[in-house]
């Protein structure tokens, strides 16, 4: 993998990780389009996911600090948020550990990704109006979340183990269905990426960390990391403004259009 390819994959990760369009699906398709495969792509994913997480940690450092204070017993709200994130994280973590091999073997291909893109797009188009009305009626902030809300979002996140479904899409939709405002649901989805993507990256490192530098140069890894971090920060800020005005339907139409084009090509 050369430097330009690493930059491209970093941009794809940063742009799509927090948008409801499926970062994993877009990475698979982008790598496929550039003729990349094997361990170099898998190991670069660790670096670019770390870059995306760095963007969340930087933008939401006050929330991270609040959870740190909660862990130290100095913030009730921070402790509640930390516990909710743990409850949301556990379902996908358990499913991922149990089904990791089957998912990699059966779902990490262009065909399953296209099918998931289409299914998710149709869901967002149909559900958008109801979800926005629900959120406008309740408009609850993150601080009002219960353990039941967190569990519902966590169970929805388990669906995103199918590449192409989109972790951001299902967690956003589940949060809004539980009465969170679009902005609150998006912020919770961003924060939930910290334990979810962090655990996934550590899992991949534990299984193949020795390949990381052998398959990619330090410069390539750095290019992927920083391009993902910079673009993810812009995408997060843009999504918060966009959701408040337009909702999820435009992302659904984009997914349906992309799935149609890819289906015709493949």
State pTM to two decimals. Answer: 0.88
Q: State whether residue 180 is helix, strand or coil.
A: strand
Which tens digits make up the pLDDT trace of 80-125?
999 999 999 999 999 988 888 888 778 877 788 889 999 999 999 9
Which tens digits make up the pLDDT trace of 56-80?
999 999 999 999 999 999 999 999 9
Say how far apart CA 207 and CA 97 lie, in whole Å.
12
What is the mean pLDDT of the segment spanning 171-180? 91
For residue 241, the model assigns a pLDDT of: 84
Higher-confidence residue of 31 and 225: namely 225
The overall average pLDDT reported for the chain is 88
What is the mean pLDDT of the segment spanning 196-201? 87
User: Is the pLDDT at 215 greater than 80, yes or no?
Assistant: no
Query: What φ, ψ does residue 166 adopt, rounded to 5°?
Result: 95, 115
Which tens digits make up the pLDDT trace of 233-254?
999 999 888 887 788 889 999 9
> What stretches of 210-248 show up as alpha helix (H) in DSSP?
211-215, 218-246
- Each residue of 199-230: b (16+ CB within 10 Å) or e? ebbeebeeeeeebbeebbeeebbbbbbbbbbb
For residue 40, the model assigns a pLDDT of: 65
Q: What percent of the chain has pLDDT over 70?
A: 93
Of 248, 240, 257, give the one whose Cα is nearest residue 169. Answer: 248
For residue 136, the model assigns a pLDDT of: 57
The domain spans of the chain are: 3-265
**In contact, 255 and 121? CB cutoff 8 Å:** yes
């Amino acid at each position: 993998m050369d430097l330009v390819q690493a930059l491209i994959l970093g941009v794809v990760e940063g742009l799509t990780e927090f948008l409801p369009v499926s970062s994993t699906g877009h990475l698979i398709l982008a790598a496929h389009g550039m003729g990349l495969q094997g361990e170099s792509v898998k190991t670069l994913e660790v670096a670019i996911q770390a870059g995306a997480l760095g963007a969340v940690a930087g933008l939401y450092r006050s929330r991270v600090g609040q959870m740190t204070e909660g862990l130290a017993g100095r913030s009730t709200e921070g402790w509640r948020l930390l516990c909710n994130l743990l409850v949301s994280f556990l379902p996908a973590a358990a499913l991922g550990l149990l089904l990791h091999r089957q998912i990699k073997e059966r779902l990490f291909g262009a065909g399953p990704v296209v099918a998931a893109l289409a299914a998710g797009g149709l869901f967002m188009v149909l559900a958008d109006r109801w979800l926005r009305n629900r959120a406008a009626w309740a408009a609850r902030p993150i601080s009002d979340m219960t353990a039941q809300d967190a569990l519902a979002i966590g169970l929805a996140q388990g669906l995103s183990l199918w590449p192409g479904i989109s972790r951001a899409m299902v967690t956003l939709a589940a949060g809004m269905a539980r009465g969170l405002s679009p902005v609150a649901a998006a912020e919770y989805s961003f924060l939930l990426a910290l334990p979810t993507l962090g655990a996934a990256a550590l899992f991949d490192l534990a299984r193949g960390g020795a390949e990381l530098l052998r398959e990619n140069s330090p410069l390539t890894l750095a290019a992927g990391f920083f391009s993902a971090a910079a673009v993810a920060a812009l995408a997060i800020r843009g999504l918060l403004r966009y959701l408040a005005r337009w909702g999820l339907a435009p992302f659904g139409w984009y997914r349906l259009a992309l799935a149609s084009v890819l289906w015709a090509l493949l």
